[in-house]
Structure 1
Amino acid sequence: MFDAETTAILRAVLDEVCVSVSRYETSARTYVASKLLEAAMAGDTSVANLKHVGRTALGEAPAMWR
């Protein structure tokens, strides 16, 4: 789907954005990851924009997911 560099960027952004979210809170992390993937598939692969998308998604995630 994505090249190795883009995949690495997506993982790094997900980890950074979700640093305060437990790895076991899969619902919130999955939601953020899906929004990051949507942005990347639309061609937006800059780190700054992906971080913004991820933080926005984390803010939108229901509180019970976090």
Structure 2
Amino acid sequence: MFDPATIALLRAVLDEVCEEVSRFESGTRAHVASRILGAAMNGDTSPDRLKVIGREALHKAPTMWR
């Protein structure tokens, strides 16, 4: 699917975008990861663009309090 360098990039972007999100908030992290992965699968592998997509997903992530 993805080469090791792209996988490392996706993980780094996810970790950066979710640095303030607890590792126990798996639903939020999964939502952000899904959006980042979807963008990459559509060919968008620019680190800056993936961060924007990840931050947008984080902002719109469903929470139990909404």
Q: TM-score interval w.r.t. the shorter chain?
A: over 0.9
Offset of residue 41 of structure 1: 0.3
Aligned length in residues: 65
Aligned to 2:25: 25
Q: Structure 2 regions of 5+ residues with no counterpart?
A: none
Aligned to 1:60: 60
Pairs within 5 Å for 1:1-66:
1-64=1-64
Q: Which has the higher helix share?
A: 1
TM-score (norm 2): 0.93
Question: Matched residue of 2:45: which SS?
Answer: coil
Q: Structure 1 regions of 5+ residues with no counterpart?
A: none
Offset of residue 46 of structure 1: 0.5
- Percent identity between matched residues is 62
- Deviations along 1:7-53, one digit per CA (max 9) or x if unpaired, are 00000000000000001110000000000010000000010000000
Runs of 4+ in 1 over 6 A off after TM superposition: none
| 2:36 alignment partner AA | L
Structure 2: how far apart are the matches of 1:64 and 1:49? 28
